[in-house]
Amino acid sequence: MIIDRLYEEIKDKGNVCVGLDTHMDYIPEEMKSKYKKLEEIIFQYNKRIIDCTSDITAIYKLQIAYYESYGIEGLKAYKRTLEYLRKIGSLSIGDVKRGDISATADMYAKAHFEGDFETDFITINPYMGFDSITPYLKYLEDGKKGIFVLLRTSNEGAKDIEYLEAEGKPVYYHVGDKLEEMGKKYMGKSGYSSIGAVVGGTHQDEAVEIRDRYKNMFFLIPGYGAQGARGEDVGKYLNGLNGGIVNSSRGIIKAYMKYNDGVEKFDQYTREAVLNMREDIGYEG
């Protein structure tokens, strides 16, 4: 199953998920001058990051908004990046946060689990109701796809809805309990389900409680680095340094910008950012 594959990738490469939230402002001028066409510039930038980190990165996450913002050319780069990751055998997450129902959700599932935008995992927003999740489940049946469902997110506004009390527990626990029940049908040999959850790393006060409550749920953990979460914070969501991936975007893909010789040593500084993050989380492979 796809979740078992991710589990093994983490054992071999660590917990880092590199977020390819690519913005033209992050790309060296020499690459812009060399390739000129927007699609090619974005793709080549992504490819360079992937090529110097793929042996130490468990999975890559593409936030689709960054590509949609550049129109058709951006989406072509999104497509090519996903294709390249498949070609070299790396796993990918399409961070699309879809949250609609019925036939619309069916079409979203088709768009991101088949065709041009096919990826291994996608993110889903459940706060419209659980019928916003069920249309995706048919793609999990053969074990080749997985989903990460928003549970308790890393933004300040999470308190507006996710933390509200209902029947003696916060709304995010109602969501998590339901996901845990749904996930039993899609359990892998690793002991985790292909229905995982997005749990923000910036709210560490509840980390141990959440991990203890959902022992067989795999977590996608945003919030590290630029959003303030540290290695010791996100580590609380892991089970013996597995059971979760920790995403960092700007901290890795902009790492070269911190140095005077960053353009010349782009690969070195990008790779060092991943290695430093792995060490900070506690990976010793």
Q: Which residue has the tokens 């793929």?
A: 54
Three-state DSSP class for 150? strand
Burial of 102 (0-12, 13-18, 19+ CB in 10 A): exposed
- Contact present, 61 and 252 (Cβ < 8 Å): no
d(CA 231, CA 30) in angstroms, rounded, equals: 34
Q: Which residue has the tokens 């049946």?
A: 141
What residues are paired with 187 via a beta bridge? 193
H helix intervals, 116-265: 158-161, 171-183, 207-213, 231-234, 250-253
d(CA 224, CA 238) in angstroms, rounded, equals: 14
- Contact present, 91 and 220 (Cβ < 8 Å): no
Active-site pick, 97, 110, 236, 265: 97
d(CA 145, CA 272) in angstroms, rounded, equals: 31
| Residue 87 appears among annotated catalytic residues | no
Q: What amino acid positions are annotated as catalytic residues?
A: 97
